[in-house]
A and B are shown apart, each in its own frame.
Chain A
Amino acid sequence: MSESTVIADSGAQRSGVSAPAPAGRGRSILRPLLLVALLVVLLALPLYVEEFWLRTGFAVFGAAVGAIGLNLLVGNAGQLSLAHAFFLAVGAVSYVYVSGEPGGLGVAELDGLGLPPIVGMVVGVLLAGLAGLIFSPLAARLRGIYLGVASLALVFIGIHVLNAWTPVTGGFNGRAAPNFELFGFTFGNRDPELYVLGVPFREAERLWYLGLVLALLAYWYARNLLRSRPGRALQTLRDSEVAASVMGVNVQRYKARIFLVSSMYAGLAGVMYALSIGSIAPESFGLELSILYLAMIVLGGLGSVNGAVLGALFVSALPLVFQRYADLIPFVGDRGEGGLAAGEAARFLFGLAIVLVILFEPAGLAGIANRITGRVRRRPGGRVTEHPPDSSSQSNAPVPSDKPAQGSTT
C-alpha cells in the first residue's frame, strides 16, 4: 500500500489513467464496421425491397421503441410491469385524438383537435409519460410480482376506457389514425409525389425512414442512459435496493423516473403502432400486447438494449412473415384452410423460443449475438464481456444477519 498519498489526494490530478468510461472497453474494429454496414443497408433498403417488408419494418421499429422502454424498466431497473399495453394505448389514443379531425361515421360522433401530427405525437409521448408518473408512487411501493399484478389493473382500465369513451377513442369500432406529417411533408402516398433514383417513395418508404430515425433516437438515448450515472443507479437498485439507497440513490425517485421514461417510450411506440396499422381498436391494447412485449425483452435479453431490438424484430415480424408465406411453410395454412393460422404458429414458436432461451442462453438473443461477435474480438486476460446475473454472487440481499427471530431474548 505505497499509494497512501494518492488516496489522500482528492483532487484527482493524475492524468493519463485509463478512465473507466465504459466506452473505452476492449473495442474491436469489427463492431463499428458492422454497425455502419447495417445502417447503410437500412438506409438503402427502401430502394430495393417491396412494400410488405417496409411495412413490417416500420412495425418492428415501433415495437423496438416499446421494447427498449420496457427493458429499461424491467430488465435494468427490475420493476416488473404488465401495463405496457396501457401506456401504448395512451400514446396511440392521444395521437388520433389530438391530430384527428372531428367528424363521424354512422352512429359514432368523433371529436378531434385536428392539430398537426407532430403535436399529436409529442402529446402522446408526454401523456403516456404522465400516466406512468401518476402510477409510479404505487410502483415505488410494490415489488416483483405484486407490482406486475397491480400494473395489470391499468390494462383492464385502459380497455374499458377505449370501449366506452367513444368520442375520443372511436369506441368498439376504433378510429382511423391520421397520416403523419412534418412541416408540410406528408408520410402518405402523395403530397408531394416523390421519386428517389426512379423508385416511387410512397407511404411505406416514407414511414420506414420515420421509424428508423425514431428507433435510432430511442436506442441512442437508452444506451447513453445505461452507461451513465442514472443507469448505474437503476441497475444497482435492481440488484439491491438497500445497497443502492445506502450508496446515495434516492430509490423512490429513481423508480418514478424510470417509470416515466419507460411509459414515454411506450407512448411513442403506441403512436407508431397507430401509424403502422392506420387505425386503433380496443382489442389491440389488451393484456396480450403486454405479454408480447415481455416476450420480446426476455427473448432478446433482459437488460440489453440490443436484445430489446432483436426481440422486437423476432416477435413482431414473425407473425407477419408467417402470414405472407403461409403456403410455403409446412403446417401453416391460410385462414379457413387446414393447418395452423399464421398468428398461432408464430405464438407456438415464441413459446418454444422462450423455453430454449431460458434453458440455454439466459442472456437471450443479445447473448448469442455477443458470443458470435466475441469470437472474433480480442479479449485480454479471459475477460468476460457478458455475464448473466448469477445467483451465487448475488444472493446479496443485505438482510442483516441478526433477524428478529434470532434476537434470542430468552
Chain B
Amino acid sequence: MSATRAAESGTRSDIPPVEVVGVSVRFGAITALSEVSFTVVPGTIHAIIGPNGAGKSTMFNVLSGVYKAAEGEVRFGDARLDRMRPYQIAGIGVARAFQNIALSGTQSVAENLMLGRHHLTKAGFVAAGLRLPRATREGRRHGERVAEIADFLDLGDKLHTPVGVLSYGDQKRVEVARALCTEPRLLLLDEPVAGMNAEETDRMAAAILEIRSALGISVVLVEHDMGMVMSLADRVTVLDFGRRIADGTPAQVQTDPEVIRAYLGSGDEDSPSEAAAHHHPSDTPGATS
C-alpha cells in the first residue's frame, strides 16, 4: 500500500535516489556499521529503525559526511557523499535535523533559520560587514522565505525569540524548520518527535507528510516511535548491531522474524536479561500500530 504513495505524490525529476552500498564504519576495533546497503527511492519517506546502539545515528553521520565510511559507497545521484565534506553535502541539497538539538540558543529563531540559507546566499565578510546593498537585499529576500517556512511549522509568532527560551517541542520544530530552510532535496530527520507529547507528535507527523507531498523530496527518518514509523514510512530499513537485518515495507518488516527477534529477543542466544538491557520496550514494532 505504501509503495504506491510515492508514485501518487508526483516525484520531482531533480531528486535522485540515495544508494547506500556496503557501508562499514569502524571506530578502532569496534564495527559500528557492517556492510549496510539500502536505497531511498526519490520522493519517499524512508525510515531507519533498530534498537539502541544499532547504528542508526552512525548511518546518519555517514549520510551527512560527519563520519567517513571505512568501506562502501554512498551515492546521491552523481554525487559521492562518502567522499564529500559536510558543508559540500549541504551544498547539494542534503539537510539534517539533529536529534539532540544543535541550535544556537542565544540567537533568535529567525537567525537560526537564516543559517539554513547559508549555502543559498553569498554575502561574505566584506559585503555583509560593509552593509553593501546586495547583502542587505539578499538578507531581506531570504528572510521572507524563512518567515514562510516558520509559519509552516507554527513558529511564525516566535521568529524573534531566542531559541534557548523556547519549549523543547518548539526547539525540535526549529531544528526541522532550519533543515527545511536549506531547500533540501533530501531531508534527514533524526528522531524528530523524541520527547514530544502526543499532540506535538501528531502535528510533526502531519508536517512531515506535508513536506513530502508538497515538495516531493525524499525524507530519511530515524525514529523510535513505532506508531509514527509504521504510519508514515513508505519503506523501512532495520538495523541491529550495525547490520541490516530487514528492509521492506512497514507491513513486511513488522512480520519479519529477524526483526521480532532483534526487538524482543528470541531467548536462544541472548540471555533474557541481556536482551532487556539492550532493547528498550517501546522499540517493539507493532506495539502501537
CB within 8 Å of B: which residues of A?
1, 3-10, 12, 14-15, 17-22, 25-26, 221-222, 224-225, 228-233, 235-236, 238-240, 242-251, 257, 261, 303, 383-384, 387-390, 393-409
Assuming the A-B contacts A20-B114, A224-B129, A248-B119, are A384 and B162 also in contact, with contact meaning beta carbons closer than 8 angstroms in the complex?
A: yes
Q: CB distance A393 to B125 under 8 Å? A: no
Q: CB distance A224 to B130 under 8 Å? A: yes
Chain B nearest CB, measured from A407 CB (Å): 4
Q: CB distance B100 to A248 under 8 Å? A: no
Contact of B105 among A18, A249, A394 (CB under 8 A): A394
The answer to the question of B57 belonging to the interface, with a C-beta cut-off of 8 Å to chain A, is yes
Interface of A is mostly: loop
In the complex, chain B residues 196-254 whose Cβ is within 8 Å of any chain A Cβ = 203, 206-207, 210-211, 213-215, 241-242
A389 to B110, CA, bound (A): 17
A405 to B145, CA, bound (A): 42
The answer to the question of B256 belonging to the interface, with a C-beta cut-off of 8 Å to chain A, is no
Contact of A7 among B55, B107, B139, B214 (CB under 8 A): B214
Q: Which residues of B contact A408 (CB under 8 A)?
A: 53, 241, 278
Most buried by B among A238, A247, A249, A257: A247
Q: Which residues of A contact B103 (CB under 8 A)?
A: 239, 243, 393, 396
Contact of A4 among B65, B90, B162, B214 (CB under 8 A): B214
Contact of A235 among B99, B107, B206 (CB under 8 A): B107
Chain A nearest CB, measured from B187 CB (Å): 12
Q: How many residues of B contact A (CB 8 A)?
A: 96
Chain B nearest CB, measured from A215 CB (Å): 16
A386 to B143, CA, bound (A): 22
The answer to the question of B128 belonging to the interface, with a C-beta cut-off of 8 Å to chain A, is yes
Contact of B139 among A15, A21, A409 (CB under 8 A): A21
Assuming the A-B contacts A1-B207, A387-B106, A402-B32, are A21 and B140 also in contact, with contact meaning beta carbons closer than 8 angstroms in the complex?
A: yes
CB within 8 Å of A: which residues of B?
27-28, 30-32, 52-58, 60-61, 64-67, 85-87, 89-91, 95-96, 98-119, 121-125, 128-131, 135, 138-152, 159-165, 171, 178, 180, 182-183, 203, 206-207, 210-211, 213-215, 241-242, 278
Q: CB distance B107 to A389 under 8 Å? A: no
Q: CB distance B106 to A389 under 8 Å? A: yes
Chain B residue with the shortest CB-CB distance to A387: B162
Chain A residue with the shortest CB-CB distance to B34: A409
Q: Which residues of B contact A21 (CB under 8 A)?
A: 139-140, 143
Assuming the A-B contacts A6-B152, A7-B210, A12-B141, are A398 and B241 also in contact, with contact meaning beta carbons closer than 8 angstroms in the complex?
A: no
Q: Which residues of A contact B142 (CB under 8 A)?
A: 12
Q: CB distance B164 to A390 under 8 Å? A: yes
Q: CB distance A402 to B143 under 8 Å? A: no
Query: Considering the complex of A and B, which 10 residue pairs feature the smallest CB-CB distances, nearest first?
Result: A20-B110, A404-B27, A248-B90, A19-B143, A248-B119, A243-B102, A228-B128, A245-B86, A400-B57, A12-B145
Chain A nearest CB, measured from B89 CB (Å): 8
Chain B residue with the shortest CB-CB distance to A229: B123
A135 to B32, CA, bound (A): 36
Q: Can you name 19 A-B residue pairings with CB atoms under 8 Å?
A: A3-B151, A7-B211, A225-B125, A230-B124, A230-B125, A243-B98, A243-B102, A243-B103, A246-B66, A247-B115, A249-B115, A387-B105, A390-B164, A397-B100, A400-B60, A402-B57, A404-B32, A407-B32, A407-B242
A225 to B130, CA, bound (A): 8
Chain B nearest CB, measured from A400 CB (Å): 4
Q: A230-B128, A236-B115, A409-B31 are in contact. List 5 more A-B contacts (CB 8 A).
A: A4-B214, A7-B152, A19-B140, A228-B123, A231-B128
Q: Which residues of B contact A228 (CB under 8 A)?
A: 123, 128-129, 135, 139
Q: CB distance A402 to B56 under 8 Å? A: yes
Contact of A232 among B52, B61, B111, B183 (CB under 8 A): B111
A329 to B107, CA, bound (A): 42
Chain B residue with the shortest CB-CB distance to A3: B152
A398 to B67, CA, bound (A): 12
Chain B residue with the shortest CB-CB distance to A9: B148
A46 to B89, CA, bound (A): 56
Q: CB distance B214 to A5 under 8 Å? A: yes
Q: CB distance A402 to B90 under 8 Å? A: no
A26 to B110, CA, bound (A): 14
A10 to B14, CA, bound (A): 15
Q: CB distance A390 to B105 under 8 Å? A: yes
A158 to B242, CA, bound (A): 52
Q: Which residues of A contact B139 (CB under 8 A)?
A: 21, 228-229
Q: Which residues of A contact B215 (CB under 8 A)?
A: 7-8
A228 to B55, CA, bound (A): 37
Q: CB distance B129 to A239 under 8 Å? A: no
Chain B nearest CB, measured from A72 CB (Å): 10
A82 to B30, CA, bound (A): 39
Q: CB distance A303 to B53 under 8 Å? A: no
Q: Which residues of A contact B171 (CB under 8 A)?
A: 393
Most buried by B among A240, A394, A405, A407: A407
Q: Which residues of A contact B121 (CB under 8 A)?
A: 229
A399 to B95, CA, bound (A): 17
